[in-house]
Structures are given as C-alpha cells and as structure tokens.
Structure 1
Amino acid sequence: MFRFETLELVHWDYWQRLEVPLAAPIVTIVGANGSGKTTLLDALRTLLALECSGHGSRKRDYKRYVRRNGEDFAWLRAVVDNRRLPNQRRPFWPPHQEEQVTLACRIERKGGDWTRVYFLAPGDVAIERIEAEGTEYGVRDWRQLLHQAGLTPALARVLSLEQGQTDKLCELSGRELLDLVFQVFGDKETLDRYAEARAHQELVTAELKAMQGEESRLANELERFEQKVNRHLEWQALASERQELVAETRPRLEFHALNESIRGARRQLAATRRDWRRLRAELQACSDGQPSRRRAVQQAADARGAAETAEQAANAVLNQANAERTRWLTRLEERQRLLAAARVEGGDPLADQEALEAAEAERDALRLQLAAADAELKRVGELLHELAAGRRADPQDVCRFRAALDGAGIGHTLLAERLEIADEGWASAVEAVLAPFADIVLLNDARQAEEAFVLGERLRYRHYLVPESVAVPPAGAGSLLEVLRLRGPVPEWLIGLLQRTQRVADAAAGARLPRGQDWVTRQGYLRERRGGRHAAPDLPRFGEARLAALRERAEQLTNEANPLRARLRVVDARLAALRQRVLGSDARRDLAARAGEFAAAEDHLQRADEAHQDAARAALGTRQERQRCEEGLRSAQLAETALASQIAGLRSALPGLENLAGRREQAERLRRLRRQRRELPSAWQEAAGNQALAEQWGDARAIDRRIAEIERRFAQESWETDGTVVALRDNLRDSLQRQQREVGDRRRDNDMARAQTDAARSEYVKVLRHTASRYARNLRLLGEMAGVRVEVELPPLAAEEGALAQAALVVRFEFDAKGLMGMNDSDASGGQQVVKSLILLVGLMMEEAHPGGFVFIDEPFAHLDIMNIERVSAFLRATRAQYLLTTPVTHNIGVYDPASITLVTAKKRPDERWASRVGVLVRAPAAATAIAGDA
C-alpha cells in the first residue's frame, strides 16, 4: 500500500494554507486540546473519502471544517509514493507508473450546499495545476480507486476510529477479527481466482435459473397459445357449422319439409273434404227437422196453456165450492158452540176465565205454527213456479249480488249452472259434498276480479267468488267427479276435491279404505279429514231432484198444516162458547130460536160436500194434466235445444272441414315449391339426402336452435378469431425447443463452474489457514515485544461454505502473569484494552507480503503508563507501516521517542482570523537533537 509524503491544506478549518511533511514511518501530532490535532487527521480522512472522527451524535464531517472560515472553497492535497510493492505491482497502476502521485480534493459551495470532487495526477502537482493535469473522480469512483491501491474497507474502518477509541479494536468478535485478517492478509491472486470462479458459478446459476424461468414462461405461454389455438379452431368449426347450416342445411331441410307438408296436406284435404260432405248432409237433415221440432214445442206450449187454463177454472170452481161448504160449516159450527155453551151453563166463573185464557194461548200457538208453515209453503210455491217456468230460483242474497254484478258488466256463472248430475243414484252424495258450494260465483274474466271483490265486500256476499278456473281433466276411476258433467271450467281446488273423494256403497266399505282417503256413500254420509258426518241437505240444490224435492216438500207442508187448521177451528169454537158463558148468554134460547136455520144448513152442507168433492176431483185431474203438459213441453224444448245445439255444432265445424284457408295455404306451398326448385341446386333436391338430414335434425326449428346456441356462445364466451395465433403457437414451440437445448448446455457449464469453484475454495482454505497462522505468529511476536503473553486459537477451517461462515479467531492475553483474558474482557483495565488493540492493529501491518501502508491512531497513549508507552513505542518502530499519532502536550515525553517527525499544533488566537502555522520537528538520522522548522 502507498504512504503519505506531504500534505497541503487550503481553507481547511482555520488554516489559510498549510503544508506539512509526512515522509516518516511514525509521525506524532502534538498539541493542546482544541489545537487541531484531530482536524489534521480528519483532513487526511476526507482526502481518502473516509468518515471523520467524532463522538456519537457529535459526529464531524468535512462540511464542518470548510464553512467555519467563511470561504467558498477548500483544497486538500497529498503526495504519496507509488513505488513497486514486493509483488511487483504499483498501488496506482493502472493508470500511473510514476514513483509519486498526487491526491487532491476540491470542496466548494454550490446552490447553498457543499460538494466535493477528487483528482489523481502523476508526480508532485501543485494545487493550481491539479485540475488541468489530473483526472477527476466522484466519491464512489475515488473509493474504488483507493481500494485497488490497497485501502481496503477493513483498513478504512480502522482509519476512521473516533478520537480516543483506538482500544475499540479489541472489542471485535472472533468472527469479525478473522474477517479483518483475511481482508488484510489474504492472497489476492487466490482470492481473485476464487471470486472469479464463484462469480462465474453464481452468474451461470443465475442465468440458468433465468433461462429455466424463461423456459417455464415459454411453456406457459405455449400452453396459453395452445388454448387460444384450440379456441380459434373451435370458433372456426362453429363458424363453418353455422355457415353450412344457414347456407345449405336449412334450405334443404325447408325444401324437404315443404314437400312433406304438401303430401300431408293433400291427404288431409281429401279426408276433410269427405267429412265436409258428410256433415253438410247431416246439417241439411237437421235443418229439415227443425220446423217440426218447433211445431212440437209450440203444440206442447199450447197444450200446457190450455191445461193451465183448465186448472185455473177447476181451482176457481173448487175454491167456490170450498167457500160454500165453509159457509155452511161455519153456521153448523155456531150451533155446536151454542150446544157446548148450553151444556156448560151454570159453571164456575173463575174456572171459565182460566179455561178461556188457556184456549187463547193454544189458539195463538196454532196461528204461529200455521203462519210459519204458510210462509214456507209460499216460498216453496214460488220456487216451484220459477223452476216450472224454466228460470233460476236463487236465494235473495244471491239474486241481489248477481244483479250487482250484471249492473257492473261483470260476466259470471254460478257453480250450480255448470254442474249436471249424470247418475241420479249418486245425487245425495253430490249434494253432501257440493251443497255448501252451490252459490259459488265463477267469473268469466279473471281481470275483473278486483271490481267483483269490491262488490262482494260491499254487499257482504258470504259465498266464494272465484276469478280463476281451469278445464276439467278426465275423471279418476271411482271418484265423485266420474258421476258429474261440468259444462265449462271450474276452480282447480274443486276438481281436486271431487277427484280425491271416492264413492263407496256404504260406510262399512268406506271404513276399509286407507286412512286419509276421503269417501262418500250413496245416502250422503261423507268422510273427510275432519271426520265423518251425514252431509246431504234436506233440500237438494242440484238437478231434477231439486224440483221433485220441492214438490214433495209442498205436499208435506200442506199435510202438516191441515191438522193444525182443524185443531184451530175446534179451539175457536171452544173460545166462542167460553166467551158467551162468561158474558152470560142464553144458549138454549138461541138454539130453540134458530132450529130451522140449523136444519136447513145441514141440507145445504150435504149438497156443498158433494159439490166440493166433485170440484176437488176435477181440480186434481186438471193439475195432473197440466203437469203432463209441462213434462211434454220440457221434453220438446230439450229436443229442440239439442237439435239447435247439433245444428250450431255442425255449422261451426263445417267451415273448418271446408278448410278454405288450408286450401289457400296448400296453393301457396305449391308456389313456394316451384320457386325453390328453380333456385336450389339439383343436388340439394335429392330426396334420400334430404331425408337423412330430416332424420338428423328433425325440422328447421332444431337448426334454428343450434344456430341460436352458436350465436349465444359467440356472444357470451371469449373466442380467438385471429388466425395468426397458429403461427405464433408454432414460433413459441420452436422457441421453447431452442430454450430447452440452451438450458441443457448451460447446465453443463454450471456443473463445470461448480467444479472450478470447489477447487478454488480448497485453495482458498489453504491460504486462509496459512494467513491465520502467520497472523497468530505476528500477535505472539508483538506480545513478546510488549511483555504480554498472547495465545491464539486458530479456527478449524474446512472447504464447506458453512464452516467458513462460522469460523472465528479466538485471541487471549495475559498481563503480568495474572491469567489469560479475552479480547473484550470486563476485567481488563483501560490501558490493557489499548495494548490489546495496538497488538491486534500492529499485527495487521507486519505481513511481509503486504508491507507499508499507513495508520491513523488518535491518542493511542491516553491510558498507558510509562512502561507501556515504551513497550508500545518499541514495537511500533519494529513495524514497517506509516503511523500518524496524536497526543496531548501533557503526556510523558516518551511518546515522542518513536517519531521521526513531530507536528506541533496551536490554538487560534481570538483576535486573528486564521490559525497559526504548525510547527515541525524532524529527528536527525544519527542524533537525538531536533531542529525546529515551520511550513
């Protein structure tokens, strides 16, 4: 490594311009505290691009020194030697082979901040000519240049030790000390070979990984492009299929379908023509028979009118005979009252009053019963009259609600109007199930439901109002629906009720059915989920049974009312007698006075009874005749209605069978066929091929669905429509194959590099063992010079990377036979720490292969006594390195003994701008006298 010969400073701290000699092995810088000793060393550190000294947060830097004097620039210049080293290499070669070179640093203010640049020039070049003759460097390049000249990072670290921290070298760990030794003493050529081999291996490994990554990327890219190619080929296939379907398959299939439809329509038109002729003849026959049916209805209506007239006349005669008979009965009943009064005259008045009150109470009860019976008989008579006239006979609330619906224009029908019992034997069963629903209102249009519901709420209609109805499906075997005919749609829930209700002969048969099965007997006993009960109503609501039941009820009410009337007459006679006796009338006198009258009344009553019987027989005959005429009229009306329905059905079916629209469509199909025969190629009209297409696709709708599916896939899925992906895929495949070949070649190179690295590592380990041994020998030699026993434990170095990473150099010291201690032992005194650090430091400078170099040591004797100062001075002189030492003026004069040059600094006077010059003491080669000089 190089050494310093001179140092020149311009505007550095408070020195205006200063030049000092440094061409000596040991240079001591002495001065009072604050006189500039560390400032001089920091100038050298700045010139070498090292960190300045300092303590903790008070760390100094070069800007502190250049801004204190108020100038805008500063220069640092040093002349160093460039002589050949034992290895025949000059520190600054290339680029210079001169014996001396000049190092310089220019510091100037730019934009409010300080910047520095470095210069290297051959020979001893003054500051004024350095910019013209020297080469300019930045900080990073300058440090790299000095590193090549021998200023390793390890030495730079030692040179940057803070003031008074020389003893810190012994605080390094064993691993850090070993690294420092290897950096200072390692064989450069061996290290270069190892580093070159290692770098080559790492480079090849990195390239191999990169190439493998590129290979993986190409493989992934190829796979991605394979998918793109597959999507492109699939897109091409779908596009071709769509084109073929649209351009050829669909026209051929339409041509084939047109031919088939023409043949089928021809057969169908022929069949419908035959049916049309048959229906037309049947319609003509029915139309011819319609006048006779009308005449029969008219005749039956006339006969019913005549029967009604005769019945009315007979009833009038009967009523007159009945009134005559009643008149004579009343008179004879008066005689009976007089006779009763005559028999009871002279009775107890209190008992007669009680009997009168009891008779009046009985009379009132009889009148109430007769009024209820007469009211029901009147209602039943009205229903019979309405039904006999062919009109509906609904309850008042139903009539009122239906009138409101008709007024609002809401079409509707009652459930009873759509229901007909096909088997009257099951009428009671139907009544048991459907009687509660007879007055359900079914809307013709579900869109009018809201308006209908509003009316139902306003009129408080208690029966269901159903907007939605469905067509009646086929009836299940044995279900109640099987014995009904429903003329129109009904609610779906009603169909479900009828379907799940099974008809059984009796309750015993129903009990044998599975649990949960609904059933009903002929007599109307119903079993449902809530249980079983007799549900058939007393008065039927559906079919012909309703009319018969009403007639039977009218007769029953009449039979029940006659005994009540007879009893009422008896009670009235008794009341008259009791009233007369209570009032004191003379019944015997009245009987005697009216005896002739009562005798004549008996004769008249006998003749009135005979006339009444004759009139009753005549009225019964006319009533029976009227009923027979009504049945004949009903039969004639049903026959006429059936014939009219048949004629209407034939007339509605006849246009469909005539099928004029079908004939026009057939003509249009024939025109289209002729046009397609002209337009389509002859090969597309080949029947066998078109039949195969029809078997494959069915009809054109299947092709449309397939085309729609292709269009949907084109719209919804991602496709590759660019045909260049095939060429890109092929290029990627070729690139991947080339990459795979290159990866194989690189892998072979990597194996070769690994072998070279292993060989270089073995050589490196040998050098490390030798270097560690030499350093240990240097430490023991320095320890003997300092009177300190030094033991060094060499690391077990091996060729494995892990062993080298864990290796450490263990050094122990023994002072004054007090036992061994480690490098950073807590029992060591401050002076012992300095001695240990100096031994470790000086040991780095004793390597014969790398002689020379320089070391900055700030106050190395601060903690040493006189004996240790002498010991340290002795082995400092024994080394061949250049030392720049600082020491305060208060120390023992023994600190100057090893120095050839002593620089004396002084504090700046307060009244002066610049500091005084530095004194220089140069030791004569053969004398102990010093001469004073200044720079």
Structure 2
Amino acid sequence: MFHLQSLELLHWDYCQRLTLPLDGSIITVAGPNGSGKTTLLDAMRTLLGLDCSGGRNYKTYARHANADSAWLRATVDNRPRNRQSSNRPFARCLLYSDVVTLVCRIDRNGGDWVRRYLMVEGDVSIEQLIERQDKDWLGIDNWRKRLEGAGLSRAIAKVLALEQGQTDRLCEYSPKELLKLVFDVFGDQDVLDRYDEARNHQRQLTQEVEAAERELSHGKAQRAELEIRVNSYRQYELKCQERETLATEVVPVLSSHETRRVLASKLRELHRQRLQSQEDRRQHAQVKAELLQRLQDQTDAATRVEELEAQVRTARRLQEEARDAERPVEALVKRADELQGLAVVEGDADKLTTRIAELSEHKQKLATQWQRLKDQRDDAQRAYDALKGQRQAPPPPEVARFTRTLTEAGIAHHLIADIIEISDEKWRAAAEGVLRGSRWVVVLAKPSHEAQAMALAEKERFRHYIVADAEDAPAQPDPDSLLAVLKFSAAAPRWLLRQLANIRRVASTEAGVKLGGEWITPEAYHRDNRGGRSVWVDPGQHQFGAAAIAGRRQSIEARLAQLDEEMTRLVRDQAFFDRQLQDARQAAKGFTAAAELAERAAEFHEAREQLPTLKQARVQAGERWQQAEALLKHAVVAQTNAQHAYKQAQERLAHLESRSAQHDRDWQIRFDDLMAQALMSREVKLQLPRRWREPARITEMQAKYGNVTQARLRAEAVDRELNEGQWETDPTVLEQLTLMNANVLRQEDELNQRKASNAAAAIAVDNARARYTDVLKVTVRRYRKNIIELGHLAGVEVNAELPHLDGDDIGLRQAELKVHFNFDGKGSIGLNDGEASGGQQVIKSLILLVGLMKDDESTGGFVFIDEPFAHLDVRNIQLVGHFLRSTRAQYVLTTPITHNVEVFEPADVTLVTAKKPKGARWAPPIGVLQRRPPAEVL
C-alpha cells in the first residue's frame, strides 16, 4: 500500500490554500478543540473516497469556503515497498513513476456540489490539473475501485473512517467479523471472486431451478385446471348429447312404445268388458224372472195380511164384548165384598167410628199424594214449556245474574257450557259427568280484566271459577282421549284441556283396569289418581249442545207420563175409598149393609157364579186377540219383506238395464277412441327411424331409463343441470390442454437441464470453496504471525486460535478468529471482554489494525487515528507511542494541545492548527514542526 507525502488544500472549509508535508512515519495534528484537526482528517478521507466523520460530508466543507470550487491534492509514494519485488501500488492504474498525484475537485453545480477525482504520474500542481479534460476525471465508484487496486481495500477504508475517540473500535469486533476483515485485507481477491462467482452462479442456478420448479408447478396447476375444464367440457358435451338423444330418440320411442302397449292393454280390457256384458244380459234374465216371483210373493203376503187383520178385528171385538159382560158382574162382586166388610163393623159403633176415621184419613192421604204429584207435574210441565224454542239449556239464576253483571261492566267473557258440543252421543253421559263441575266456569276474553272480574265475583259470592289463562283446543287431539269427542267454539282453560286430554275412553271397566291411568266408560264410570267413581248425570240435567235439549225433553216427557199414570191410579183409589166412606157414614145413620146383602143375595150369588166364567171367556178372548195380533205382526213383517224384496228386484233390474245400456254406450265410445289413437300411434311409429324401433334398441332404452316418465324426468334433470350448473362450453380448452401438455413437457426438460447445470455448479462451488478454504487458512496463519510479531514489539503476548474451516458454506459462515492478549503476565484477555484498560484497548486495536497492513512482500500503508491518546495516562501514552514507532506503517494522529507532551515524542511531523479568529474569513495557516533525522542533529 502507498504512503502519503504531502497534502494541499484549496478552499477547503476555512483554509484558503495551504500545503502540508506528510513525509513521515508518524504525523501528529495538534491544536485546541475546534481548531480544524478533524477537518484536516476529513480532507484526507474525502481525497481517498471515504466518508467523513461525525455525520459530516464534503459538501459542508466546500460550502464554508464560499467559493465556486474546492481542491484536495496529495502526492503519494509509488515506489515498491519491498526490495525483492518490483510491484508498485498503482501499477494496475498504469502509473509507474515514484510519485503519483491524487486530486479531488469539488465544483458548485447549481445549488449542489459535485466531486470528481484524478490520479496522474509525478507531482502535478492544481493549476496544471485545471487544464485536464472532463473525460479524464473519475466518479466516486471508479475512484474507489482504483484505490482498491492500489491497496486501499473497503475493509481498510472502514477502519480509516473511525470516529474521534473510537481507536479501540477494532478490538470490539466479534471473532467472526474479525476473520472476515482479515480475509478481505489479505485474501486472494481472484480466489475470492471465483468462489463468490461460483457460489453466486450456483445460487442463481438454484434460484433458476426453484423458479423452474415453481413454473413447472404452476404449469401443472394450470394443466390440472385445464384438465378439470376439459372434463367439464366433455361432461357438458355428453349431457348435451344425452339431452338431444332423450329429446329426439328416447322419449319419442318410449312414448310411442308405451302408448301402443297401453292401447293394446286397453283393447284387451275392452274385449273383457264385452264378454262381461254378455254375462250381464244373462243376469238380466234371471233378475226379471226373480222380479215376477217377488211380485207373486208380495200379492200373497198382502192377502194374508188382509185375512189376519179381519181375524184381529173379530178377536178384538169378542174380547171387548167379553170385557163388557164381565165388568157389571165384577162390580157386583166387588160391591158384595164391600158390604160384607162393612157388615162386620156396623154392629159395633166404636169399630164403625174407627172405620170411618181410617177411611177419612186414608182418603186425606190419597188427596195429599195427588196434590204432591200434581205439583210435581206442574213443575215438570213448566220445565217442558221453558224448553220450547230453546237451542241450549238455560243456566241457573245465579249464573245468569253474574253474566249480566259482567256484561254491564264491559267484561267480555263466555261460559264453558256455551262453547262445547259433544260430537259422539255414545259418550254424552261420560262427557256430561266429567264436565258437570266445570259447566259454569267463566272464561275471560282479555286477561287484563281478571282483577275486575274477580272483584265482582267476590261481591256476588259467585261459586264458580273465573279463568283468564285460556287457549284454543288442539286441532288434532289424541283420538282415544275424551277431548277427541268434544268440539270447542272458543278458548278454554288450559287445565281443563289437559284434564280432558289425559282421560282415555275405554269400552268397559275391565278394559280400563288393564289399560291403567285415567279413563272413563260410556256409562260415565270415571277413574283418576284418587280411585274410581260414577259421574253419571240424569239426562234431564244434560247441558252441552243442542242434543241436551232433546234429552231433557224426553226425560221430562217420560216423567209427565209416569206422573199421569200415578195420578190416574190415585183417582181410582180415591173413588173406591170414597164409596166405602159414604157407605160407612150411611151405616152410622142407620143404613145396614146386612139388609142390602140379604135383599140382593141372589143377585150377588149369581154374579159370583158368573164372574169366573166371564173372566175365563175374557181371558180366552184376549189370548185369541193376542195370537191374532202376533200372526198379523208376522204377516205384516212378511209383507214388508216381500215388498222390500220386490223393490230391490225392481231396482236391481233397473240398475242392470241402465248399466247395460251405459256399458254399451261407453264401450262404443272407448272402442272408437282407441281405434283413433291406434291409427295415430301407428303413424307416429312409422315416422320414427327403423333402427330406433328395433326390439333390442327399445330393450336397451328401457334398461337404461325404465319408462318414458323416468326418461322425461331424466331429460328435465339434464336440462336443469345444464342451465343451473357451472360448465365449460369453450371447445378451445382441448387445444389449450394439448399446448399446456407440451409446455409442461418442455418445462420438465428445462428443469432437468437446470438441475444438471446446478449439479455441475455445485461441483464447481465445492472446488472453489476448497481453494477458498486453502487461501483462507494461509491468510489466517499469516495474520496470526503478523499480530504475534507486533505483540512482541509492543511487549504484549498475543495468541490467536486458528478457526476450524470445514468444506461447506455453513462451516465457513460460522468460522471465527479468536485472539487473546496477555499484558504484563496478568492473564489472557479476549477481544472485548471488558478486562483491558484504555491504553490496552488502544494497543489491542493498533495490533489488530497494523497486522492487517503488515506484509512481508509489500510494506506501507497509512492509518488515520483521531485522538488515540484520549483519556490515557502518561504510562499508556508512552506504551502507545513506543508501539507506533516500532511499526512500519504511516500514521496521521490528532491530539489536543492540552495533552501531555509525551504525545509529540514519536512524531516525525507535527502540524499545529489554530482557531479561526472571530470575523476572519480564513483560518490561520497551519504550523509545521518536522523532526530532523539523527545524522542532521549531529
């Protein structure tokens, strides 16, 4: 690497123009803070294409001078650094003179600044360089490349750009970063370039393989998608073909075939009907003969009835005559018995008085009984009259009164008795018995009226329930429940509906016991969870439905008939006892029953003798009348049966005649219609192609579709699928799939070729890696030798662990260069373990830094170190100075003038800066102190 010999600044920051000698191993720039020491270092950095320190840049310094251009010029040593070698630092730039001039020109370009670079042989002034053409000037990138060729690598450039007070930054590198820096400085660039080229080539090929694989995967995905579309298109074609086949062939053929088969079946059925009509004509003759016989039987039965009616009239007349003959005789006998009973007591006044009293008392009892029965009959008659014109049994007075109260209060309601109709009279007794206690329950139309209604019920002392929680009866209750035989016209209490739904209807108590649970029989025997009991209600008390009125009427009519019979009997008994009472009273007045018995003894005797005969005659006449009545009844039944049989025969004959005529008309109509259909079907059949009508083809269609109905359904389904489904209808997908198959095959071939190239590149990378590893091992060993030698010069024991370099990229990326230092025999310390002092940190970094520049073949190089002695004591300053003198590198150091004078001891050239006076445009000139060589001092 080259050394700096001089530096010239023109319009740089506040320097007007000055030239500084740098021909020395150690150049110290001293001055107070803010006097321009870092400005001088930034000028060198800008000239070498490096970044300025502290976030500054060259534009800031050029702008301070307030000129159109600024110049930085340096002369450098281009002589070979090793006597055994003739290589010059700038030989690659075709510069072979011992001195090379490096120039940076910064020009104002509008509102911005632009820098350009130039290197020429010899010591060329700025005035001469101004005349150089623009094409000779270089940009920053080309400038850096040329300086790299002269030995100023990017790694050293980073070290040269260390900030103020950061001299120990190099020892803060990690082992891995230090190894990379060493190889960047010492490594064979060609080997590194070849390895990087091979690795980049393989990476590129790998990326190409991956891209080809992705492209192939994408192509296969597109091919799969096209295959799906092709399958969809083929299915679409098949369904279109099926729809066309169904519409043009299958449905017409199967329809024609089934139509002709149905017509043949109907013709056979018509023939059977024709044969059946002949059987009907035979039945017509038989029924006609039977009708004549039934007419004769009816005539004979009518004659028999007339004869028996005459016999009944005769027998009834004889029975009435015998009864008329018996009655006066029976009355005489009864009178004789009464007189005999009176004769017994008429001689005894006490007995007669007792007899009269008993008869009077008995007569009074009969009168009382008659009056009681009369009152009962009047009540029944009034109840019967009250039911006239009524469709429903009236409620009790207290219920009617309370419902009127609710109506007057504006409370809508209805009674249970008003909304239930019993649909099956067989179960009326059961329903009436179960509902008896709930018939006068009041159901409110609006639940909001509940409080008001209950207040009125409390006032009226209404004993029946007021219900607001009601609902409609279910539309389809359990058919075996009692609820099933009830019809509701309005809402009913929920508890009542549940009760009726839980009661099962059974035929008998035995069936109910077997069934278990809650049940009821038609005779109203009810069993619940408490046990069984009869809930039968007298029909006169039935309440629900219009049939309840009829039941009540029948019950009252039966009661009236019973009362009339009992009252008739009492009237007869009253007449009997009245006669006895009159006779007894007459006997008390002197009339004697014995005298009448004596006077009428012969009459009474004759009556007693005639009465058995007359009674026997009446009985016999009655028996003959009853026998005649029985025979007449049988005869009437026989006549009725004969009339009914004759009427049935007539109806059957008329039905046969009507059916035969209708059958003949229908048969002819159907025959004509079937023949017309057959002709039309034949024409349709002949219009179909012959191959469609072949039996084998029809059998195939039937095996696939069944019948014409299923074929039509299939056609509708196919049409619906085509209209509603997602189908591929573009026929070009077939060609697209063919092209895509060819494209996928091409991509597979390209992928195979790239894989083969990648495999070859992997071999080349392995070879380049092996070469790189060999160079890296040599480089590390050389650097290890350099820092150990530099450690001896500084009086520090330095040791470096050679990294383990494997033959793969992972091992190379993980390789580290661990360096240990031993100061004054106090033990080994690492790069940045926090155990070294400030001076030791500086020495560690300088050893590592100078080790990068130490080359057995080519010596030289320079380092910018901004304030390396900051925060160091006298002893550490001496150690650092001694180390700097012992190396062969060129150093440009900065230090404030407040430091110990020891900092100037190792310097060959000392540049002294001063602050710019206030109000002055340019800074004062920089003082130069140059140490004489030892021979000159002597």
TM value normalised by structure 2: 0.66
Residues 354 and 557 of structure 1: CA distance in aligned 2, closer, same or farther (over 3 Å): closer
**Aligned partner letter, 2:789:** L
Alignment of 1:727-742 (within 5 A): 727-742=735-750
1:355-387, Cα deviation, whole Å (9 max, x unpaired)? 889878888999999999999xxxxxxxxxxxx
Matched, 1:633 2:647: no
Alpha-carbon shift at residue 887 of structure 1 (Å):
0.7
Alpha-carbon shift at residue 299 of structure 1 (Å):
11
**Aligned partner letter, 1:737:** L
64-73 or 852-861, which moves further after superposition? 64-73
Q: Which residue of 1 aligns with 2:178?
A: 177
Alpha-carbon shift at residue 190 of structure 1 (Å):
1.9
CA contact (8 A) 1:118 1:136 kept: no
1:747-781, Cα deviation, whole Å (9 max, x unpaired)? 33333322332232222222222222222222222
154-163 or 609-618, which moves further after superposition? 609-618
Matched, 1:744 2:745: no
Matched, 1:193 2:194: yes
**Aligned partner letter, 1:199:** N
**Aligned partner letter, 1:36:** G
CA contact (8 A) 1:286 1:647 kept: no
Matched, 1:810 2:818: yes
Q: Which residue of 2 aligns with 1:662?
A: 670
Residues 452 and 120 of structure 1: CA distance in aligned 2, closer, same or farther (over 3 Å): closer
Residues 626 and 744 of structure 1: CA distance in aligned 2, closer, same or farther (over 3 Å): same
1:253-295, Cα deviation, whole Å (9 max, x unpaired)? 3343344344334333333334345547756986998899899
The counterpart of 2:777, out of the listed 769, 772, 779, is 769
**Aligned partner letter, 2:865:** I
Residues 639 and 603 of structure 1: CA distance in aligned 2, closer, same or farther (over 3 Å): same
Q: Which residue of 1 aligns with 2:56?
A: 61
Alignment of 1:634-713 (within 5 A): 636-637=643-644, 640=647, 644=651, 647-648=654-655, 651=658, 655=662, 658-659=666-667, 662-676=670-684, 679-686=687-694, 689-690=697-698, 693-694=701-702, 697-713=705-721
Question: What SS does the corresponding residue of 2:891 show, helix, strand or coil?
Answer: strand
- CA distance in 1: counterparts of 2:90 and 2:308, whole angstroms: 157
- CA distance in 2: counterparts of 1:280 and 1:774, whole angstroms: 138
Q: Which residue of 2 aligns with 1:271?
A: 272
Q: Which residue of 2 aligns with 1:249?
A: 250
Q: Which residue of 1 aligns with 2:27?
A: 27
Q: Work out the percentage of aligned pairs sharing the same amino acid.
A: 32
Alpha-carbon shift at residue 31 of structure 1 (Å):
1.1
Q: Which residue of 2 aligns with 1:463?
A: 485
**Aligned partner letter, 1:193:** R
Residues 661 and 128 of structure 1: CA distance in aligned 2, closer, same or farther (over 3 Å): farther
1:567-587, Cα deviation, whole Å (9 max, x unpaired)? 868975798699999xx9556
- CA distance in 1: counterparts of 2:590 and 2:93, whole angstroms: 182
Alpha-carbon shift at residue 882 of structure 1 (Å):
4.0
**Aligned partner letter, 2:807:** A
- CA distance in 1: counterparts of 2:635 and 2:628, whole angstroms: 11
Alpha-carbon shift at residue 169 of structure 1 (Å):
2.2
234-243 or 611-620, which moves further after superposition? 611-620
Matched, 1:891 2:899: yes
Question: What SS does the corresponding residue of 2:230 show, helix, strand or coil?
Answer: helix
Q: Which residue of 1 aligns with 2:838?
A: 830
Alpha-carbon shift at residue 434 of structure 1 (Å):
14
Alpha-carbon shift at residue 860 of structure 1 (Å):
0.8
Question: What SS does the corresponding residue of 1:720 show, helix, strand or coil?
Answer: coil
- CA distance in 2: counterparts of 1:155 and 1:326, whole angstroms: 170
Alignment of 1:321-400 (within 5 A): 339=341, 345-347=352-354
Residues 208 and 68 of structure 1: CA distance in aligned 2, closer, same or farther (over 3 Å): closer
Alpha-carbon shift at residue 180 of structure 1 (Å):
2.0
**Aligned partner letter, 2:787:** L
**Aligned partner letter, 2:159:** V
126-135 or 212-221, which moves further after superposition? 126-135
Alpha-carbon shift at residue 833 of structure 1 (Å):
1.6
1:379-431, Cα deviation, whole Å (9 max, x unpaired)? xxxxxxxxxxxxxxxx9989xxxxxxxxxxxxx99989xxxxxxxxxxxxxx9
- CA distance in 1: counterparts of 2:17 and 2:706, whole angstroms: 111
Residues 37 and 917 of structure 1: CA distance in aligned 2, closer, same or farther (over 3 Å): same
**Aligned partner letter, 1:731:** L
1:427-449, Cα deviation, whole Å (9 max, x unpaired)? xxxx9999999xxxxxxxxxxxx
Question: What SS does the corresponding residue of 1:735 show, helix, strand or coil?
Answer: helix
Alignment of 1:42-121 (within 5 A): 42-45=42-45, 52-54=52-54, 60-62=55-57, 65=60, 69=64, 77-79=72-74, 99-104=100-105, 117-121=114-118
Question: What SS does the corresponding residue of 1:161 show, helix, strand or coil?
Answer: coil
**Aligned partner letter, 1:158:** V
- CA distance in 2: counterparts of 1:117 and 1:314, whole angstroms: 163
Size of the alignment, in residue pairs?
Answer: 800
1:524-566, Cα deviation, whole Å (9 max, x unpaired)? x9xxxxx9999xxxx9xxxxxxxxxxxxx9xx99999999899
**Aligned partner letter, 2:485:** H
The counterpart of 1:844, out of the listed 827, 852, 856, is 852
Residues 143 and 567 of structure 1: CA distance in aligned 2, closer, same or farther (over 3 Å): farther
CA contact (8 A) 2:294 2:649 kept: no
1:708-764, Cα deviation, whole Å (9 max, x unpaired)? 333344345443333333333333333333333333333333333223322322222
- CA distance in 1: counterparts of 2:620 and 2:475, whole angstroms: 57
Alignment of 1:453-852 (within 5 A): 463-464=485-486, 585=585, 589=589, 592=592, 618=625, 621-622=628-629, 625=632, 628-629=635-636, 632-633=639-640, 636-637=643-644, 640=647, 644=651, 647-648=654-655, 651=658, 655=662, 658-659=666-667, 662-676=670-684, 679-686=687-694, 689-690=697-698, 693-694=701-702, 697-848=705-856, 851-852=859-860
Residues 686 and 834 of structure 1: CA distance in aligned 2, closer, same or farther (over 3 Å): closer
832-841 or 118-127, which moves further after superposition? 118-127
Q: Which residue of 1 aligns with 2:409?
A: none
- CA distance in 1: counterparts of 2:132 and 2:324, whole angstroms: 167
Alpha-carbon shift at residue 181 of structure 1 (Å):
1.5
Residues 666 and 352 of structure 1: CA distance in aligned 2, closer, same or farther (over 3 Å): closer
Alpha-carbon shift at residue 195 of structure 1 (Å):
1.9
- CA distance in 2: counterparts of 1:335 and 1:374, whole angstroms: 41
Residues 206 and 588 of structure 1: CA distance in aligned 2, closer, same or farther (over 3 Å): same
CA contact (8 A) 2:42 2:52 kept: yes
1:787-826, Cα deviation, whole Å (9 max, x unpaired)? 2232333334343444433433232333334443333344
Residues 686 and 585 of structure 1: CA distance in aligned 2, closer, same or farther (over 3 Å): same
Question: What SS does the corresponding residue of 2:485 show, helix, strand or coil?
Answer: coil
Residues 215 and 876 of structure 1: CA distance in aligned 2, closer, same or farther (over 3 Å): same
788-797 or 649-658, which moves further after superposition? 649-658
- CA distance in 2: counterparts of 1:107 and 1:694, whole angstroms: 99
Alpha-carbon shift at residue 452 of structure 1 (Å):
14
Q: CA RMSD in A?
A: 6.7
- CA distance in 1: counterparts of 2:150 and 2:699, whole angstroms: 98
- CA distance in 2: counterparts of 1:452 and 1:283, whole angstroms: 54
CA contact (8 A) 1:91 1:148 kept: yes
- CA distance in 2: counterparts of 1:576 and 1:185, whole angstroms: 169
CA contact (8 A) 2:366 2:570 kept: no
**Aligned partner letter, 1:190:** V
Question: What SS does the corresponding residue of 1:102 show, helix, strand or coil?
Answer: strand
TM value normalised by structure 1: 0.66
Q: Which residue of 2 aligns with 1:859?
A: 867
Alpha-carbon shift at residue 698 of structure 1 (Å):
3.8
Residues 463 and 14 of structure 1: CA distance in aligned 2, closer, same or farther (over 3 Å): same
Q: Which residue of 1 aligns with 2:467?
A: none
Residues 868 and 700 of structure 1: CA distance in aligned 2, closer, same or farther (over 3 Å): same
Q: Which residue of 2 aligns with 1:487?
A: none
